[in-house]
A and B are shown apart, each in its own frame.
Chain A
Amino acid sequence: MKKNDYYEYSMTTDILHGTGSLRELPLLMTECRIKKPLVVTDRGIVGAGLLTPLLDNLPAEADPVVFDEVPPDSDRLLVNKIARLYRDGSCDGIIALGGGSVLDTAKGVNLVASLKADDIIDYAGAGTIAEELNPLIAVPTTSGTGSEVTLVAVIADHEIKRKMLFTSNFLQPRAALLDSRFTLTLPPHITAACAMDALCHACEAVYGLARNPFSEAAAVEAVSLIVKHLPAVLREPEKESGRLALAQAATLAGAAFSNSMVGMAHSIGHSLGSVCKVPHAAAMAVLLPHAMQYNMEKADEYIARLLEPLTGYSATAGTNVRSRALGAVTAVREFNADLRELTGGRHATRLGEILNREGECLIHRDRFREVAETTLGDGSIIYNNCELDFDEILQVLEQAW
């Protein structure tokens, strides 16, 4: 066996993409053999009126069980609770409608319900699932997480203040339904942060330790789509084609990182999420350029490949080969700055700019040591190209502050 020539790539999710693709749901359910679905969503989705069209498109005889109270920081206890609802309701499949928290919660519920487990914690880590799970149809509403196609679920354990990683090919949803109607109402600053989450997935997939050609192809396309369509969507939020392009980009980036994993931006971001309750996407937007710069020491060749999808052919051709990696970092910083302007200052470009609903800063610097300690235990840190110790994590946090 040669060094460096082996990788695995898995992508088993059917993708139904296009405006009005929700119409395909009844046929999809028949193909998946779902007769009595558990619909998992959150109050925000219900409030935005997005659950109704989904329920209206279910077959008349479906008789769904609906759980619509997934919080933004869902955790393992809730996953176990919803799984009991699934079993008590004699459900035979799940339809997940929402963003990352909803989709990952649904994956966790599917795991617990399918394997008749008591607690999802028994399946933490990689390679712990040995059999196929029940069908899960993912309907993303945020264009960021990519969870609709990934083999990963990130679920918090609030008791130990940590996000647990679950990875298995069996966690990939059976189908993903990308319909622009579900992202049209997303506010501009959330649209921007989610797209930056997808951009972060794509970039870390390109230069991470587990990079592979299939992931890179999908990731590079995702970066191009985001750079081209995100500013246009922020200027014109109801532009369906742009929304659909962002949904497609998020799914491509999801397929990419699902197979190449992610690096230090996510390691630190997960920890900021579990320690300071920072929204994942906002943390990713801030941390991505710092993570790229940190990894330039070992991965400049791969980071340089991101310059063309970020800035276009002409700008890349006009940049010295040795300066392209730094050019890519600068392009991401400038893109973040543009997004801040386009969202009226609501898109965070520094950790200190990430605010809660009351306008207060979510992150306190005195918690950086706790964040750094948690980061050392995050599973994605192993996929980061450059070694990262406690003090270096603190330095990155200070730089991002």
Chain B
Amino acid sequence: MKISHIIGNIYLEILLFVVGRALAAASRVSSDVREEVKRLPEGMVLLLQVLPSGPSMAIKKENGLLHYLGRNSGDRQPTVLMNVKNREAALLLLTFRESTALATAHDRILVRGNIPDLMTVIRILNLVEVLLLPRFIAKMAVKRYPRKKIRGRVRVYSRVLLGIG
């Protein structure tokens, strides 16, 4: 395997880990994210993975909050599945050069599951990207940077780093 591929895979592993933890944290500290999470059914399990055998991350909704499950959903069947078709497409998405919407429009993501839940998950991912990233990068990662301030950035970062919820 080329060294660039190894570095790319490590980057994707780290990013998916951070995004997974940030989703869980944001559902606790951001009222905007909580509003969106309300739309998801209890027990929803999202698995986001890079094909053919790349890194992955899973979250579930339980007691009104998102929980990071780790690299996979274990014995829980995913109800929403987002498969990024290949490593290059995942790098475009997770280096935030392409929004989730554009990646989907460009056929780089295969989705499976309840479409309304998927739409909600994409909106939550957008909010988390806005929370995690500097404005000039986040503007590339979402269709439109939110007009109103999305609060909770410091607390999300703290929780991601400390591994709280």
Please report A residues at the B interface, Cβ cutoff 8 Å: 1, 3-4, 6-8, 124-128, 162, 164-165, 208-210, 261, 376-379, 381-383, 385-387
Contacts and interface: CB of A to CB of B under 8 A. Distances in A.
Given A3-B98, A382-B101, A125 B107 contact: no
Contacts of B111: 125-127
B107 A377 contact: no
User: Which of B100, B110, B116, B143 has the most chain A CB atoms inside 10 A of its CB?
Assistant: B116
Contacts of B122: 382
User: Which of B83, B88, B98, B115 has the most chain A CB atoms inside 10 A of its CB?
Assistant: B115
Given A125-B114, A126-B112, A4 B106 contact: yes
B118 A379 contact: yes
A376 B119 CA distance: 7
B163 interface: no
B113 interface: yes
Nearest to A376: B119
B89 interface: yes
B101 A377 contact: no
Contacts of B159: none
Given A126-B110, A128-B112, 7 more contacts: A1-B91, A1-B92, A376-B39, A378-B116, A381-B119, A386-B144, A387-B143
A165 B115 contact: yes
Interface in B55-111: 83, 88-89, 91-92, 97-98, 100-102, 104-108, 110-111
Interface residues of B, number: 32
Interface of B: 39, 83, 88-89, 91-92, 97-98, 100-102, 104-108, 110-120, 122-123, 142-144
Given A1-B89, A162-B116, A210 B105 contact: yes
Contacts of A376: 39, 116, 119-120, 123
5 contacts: A4-B102, A7-B107, A377-B120, A378-B115, A385-B143
A323 to B, nearest CB: 25
B107 A8 contact: yes
Contact of B106 (A7, A124, A164, A387): A7
Closest 6 CB pairs of A and B: A377-B116, A210-B105, A387-B144, A209-B105, A1-B88, A127-B110
A386 B143 contact: yes
B143 A210 contact: no
User: Which of B98, B101, B113, B120 has the most chain A CB atoms inside 10 A of its CB?
Assistant: B101
B116 to A, nearest CB: 3
A50 to B, nearest CB: 33
B97 A3 contact: yes
Contact of A379 (B100, B107, B108, B119): B119
Contact of A6 (B83, B107, B116): B107
A169 to B, nearest CB: 11
B107 A382 contact: no
A49 to B, nearest CB: 38
Nearest to B147: A389
Contacts of B97: 3
A268 B115 CA distance: 15
User: Which of B97, B107, B108 has the most chain A CB atoms inside 10 A of its CB?
Assistant: B107
A83 to B, nearest CB: 21
B116 A209 contact: no
Given A3-B98, A7-B107, A382 B113 contact: no
B74 to A, nearest CB: 22
A210 B104 CA distance: 8
Contacts of B115: 124-125, 164-165, 377-379
A378 B114 contact: no
A304 to B, nearest CB: 20
Contacts of B105: 208-210, 261, 382-383
A382 B119 contact: yes
A261 B106 CA distance: 11
B138 to A, nearest CB: 13
A210 B106 CA distance: 6
A198 to B, nearest CB: 21
A172 to B, nearest CB: 16
A302 B122 CA distance: 25
Nearest to A5: B106
Nearest to B113: A125
Nearest to B89: A1
A7 B113 CA distance: 22
A3 B92 contact: yes
Nearest to B115: A379
A385 B123 CA distance: 15
B101 A209 contact: yes
B149 to A, nearest CB: 15
